[in-house]
Structure 1
Amino acid sequence: MDQANSSMAEFQESQTVTLEWTVRNLKQLFESSKGEQKSKVVKSAVFGGGRWQVLFYPNSGHEGGGFISLYLSCEPTSDEKEKAMNGKWQREGLYKFTFELRSLNKSTSFNTKEAYNHAFSWKTANWGWAQFARRDAVYYAPNTVRLQDAFVIVCQITSSPSPPVSSINVQSVPRSLMASVGSLLDDPIYSDVEFVIPPRRRGGKTRKIYASKRLLSGRAEYFQTMFSSGFAEGASLGADLVEDDSDYMNAHDDSDEEDAELEDMTWEISSDAGVVVKVEDVEAAPLIPVPPPAANAPAPAVLGPAKTAVVVRDMAYATYKAFLYYLYTDTIVFAPLKSQFMFSSPSASFAQTLQLPTSSDGAPLHSPGIGVTGRSDSRRGWLKNWEAAFPDRPVPCSAKAIYRLADKLDLAELKARAAKAIYRLADKLDLPELKARAFTHITKTMSIQSVPFELFSGFSAAFAEVRKVQMDYALQHWSEIRTSESMKQVLSELRSGRYPGYEEVMHQLLGFLEYRAPTSEGGGSESGQEGLGGVGR
């Protein structure tokens, strides 16, 4: 695995999109914007798959109105808005972009400017130059421009390099079609299997989710095996489909689900004919006894075809429904991690979380943020806001649980989308694709304040690949993390047992740090500072 990763590191690819915008009627634009006042904006078409737009100001309003302005505007996609926490959307990655102003025949270049490593988000949606070029130099002086009454703005955007991704045969599907397919989930008329989720608490209500065997079997080999003809006749699937979760530490304490997931997921499966098959380890806890129905009280008829009952234990209803919705539509939304709400420091700005660059070559033009959820100070509040905005969709789930399930069912993509609950679920059911999506969500939400909570958690202790990314982040930002309020909170709560990975992880962390004696110059601090060590880790 390490050799493969090393080989991938030798190859980096990036994607570039170029817009050539011919701006006409320059005489009207420049003559009507004379003076010191900033002109109205002229916008290009949205390009790059609806992700970008160029903003052109014939008069910047700076230095007596002698300059034009050019900005690159990030247009958030519907997916980015959907994933936004408290309306704070962000685009993944860093971008290099270039603006060039040319004559209509492109033989003359009036000015070129380039910016590197810029992040785009709700806070800094637009980057560019307030004084890109002098008005005289691009319009009044060049005779060709005034005669043709036009020039060309060329914008080129390049994403930050990343390891090459193997080609995937993907066919776009209309959103309306996916929504229609998604609406078939939990509709008994079009379902021949019912997943039964017993109550997690005494006095709770048993919940059911209706689904189609054929659809699930086509999406996951796990379900194909489960619903095979041999199984329909009562054959056992074998105990190897349920793994021992002792290495997951305390998943309940570390869960991001509102009704937290437990370690072991067991199944009780029965057909309408009354055949019951248990798929669980021999030493697993006994099933909850279900009293037989009264002879004179027949159960109400369920619409649709006869249904095979599958009892799913130790998995939250929200997590499992989100997982099934993913299999139906290839769509899943993760709720923010609890660690993102555990500590809020006035000094911890969102710019720190995004690692926004500060560069004189491309200053941000602030614009209002766009998002689909209202502001909230808790995970539960965020979920309520999301549910109100999307009443027809499953409630966002925990990425950790989905990660475990996807791993178990071999759905890699799902594993990257689910954060913690989905990560656990992906891991549980060996779903590599799903697991990859959950992994991305977990690692992309790292910040100075959240990493201490996550790095020492039982979840990170169970998954080395997640812990490695968090460890690298902690080493890069150790000078800030070691004095952060969240780190102090972790240290104060060690006796509670909430951080089972602390001892092992801290031992590894200290192994990569080195003591640096204070120099004779500087601020006069008498204590040494810890610096990063262990190059070549």
Structure 2
Amino acid sequence: MLLHKGVDEWTSTGVKSTFTVLIPDDSSPTITGSTGICGWGWSFSCSVGPASTATSPILLGANLTPIPWRRVAVFFHPDLIRDANYGRITLRTETKNLRPLDDGPPSGFLTQIDLPQRHGSSKNPLGVYMRLSDATGPATIAIVVQFAAGLGMSLPRSLDPRVEAALAQTIRGEEVTDIKFYAYTRVRAGYVTRPRPMFAKLALLRGHSDSLDTYLMGVSGEAGFAESKMIDLDVDMPPGDRFLGYDYMSDSDLDSDDEGDGSSPAVETAEASTTFAAQRPLPDSVSSSRSTSPILTFRALAPRRMGRMVVVKGHAFKTWNALLYYLYTNRIIFRTSDFHQESTSQIPVCSAKSMYKLADKFGLGELKALALESLRSQLSAENIVREAFSSFTSLYPEILDIEVEVLIRHLPNLTEEVDNMLKSICDGARPQCFNVLQKIVCHPELLHPSRAASEVGFA
């Protein structure tokens, strides 16, 4: 068999199957192989063969002789779930010792398939990879099949090693939470206001990315952050308002001061002001017992939970809260134009833009891909001009490329909107828009309009 399967890892929304790929010697012709049933009733197949010299990168060995490549393609087969009404499922591939062909994404390919699927298996691979013939170590492919959280499926779940370690710590009497984050919820007159607390277990946040682990080393005191000193998590002063003069002020997960965020102001005040309750004078019964019951007095004054307190800078409460929930459960919901705030789901809802920024900062590839797909799905003729020329888009080339393609497709029907946007750019109101203008002007469909018109149906 070409694909040797390891143990499936189950989550609340899908399953991850990991395979070792057996690469035949260079003289072998193309061969194919399939797996048995995986997960909930699907399978995969693999094709391995000589790489085309026309598409393969040319690499030279130590003696300047060409190093041959092998071409590896992976396919998904719905099999037993082909007729199931599961809607859109997402498949993501992660690889080791394999390189994507034709400059594919290094972190893995993202594919979406709609079920039920009446026709035969797709001929389009989940990913096409190249492997050096002299590479050392096994080549592995991990494929995550994820179902929409809204399906409410009850899937068997593998116990994450982080969860197992955290549970073991509770058996030894260690705290369930050992870190407290404060993040801001509102913006008013150039200030972010009304911080709210969130609690977490550091052990459950580690291991998702090197960048996030480095950050956590800082907040846990391992890197010497001054603000991460040990405190009583139930007795601390919430941070004050902050003025932040950068793009954080346009964060779509911050509410303006006259808007609600789905929680009662009284609850917010209570959550952020545990200090005042903890510092109230002891009842007379406790005070009078000090001379006769020192143990009772000690227990009344002793801190309940010790840990670190960190003020989150540059990210709103909703975004950080959703990140913590995702790191715990691998589940996330992005706010869309048709989302109803009164949703009863316990999963925190956040802006895809805000989460994309956070995922990019911490190198969380899967989360970043999910946010990107949500952003892509929300693009339309009504909002594409505004989105393509936004300051957010100018920061991320991947998003810029996607939005330019959508903009070009709708361009014939957006004359007035584009004219108004170009006028504001010429007036100096949008200095960040050079890159998007450059891509539009140099786009093949505009450089060769007759050919492009026939391709997209405008002719």
- Higher-strand-fraction structure: 2
Q: TM-score, normalised by structure 1?
A: 0.42
Q: TM-score, normalised by structure 2?
A: 0.49
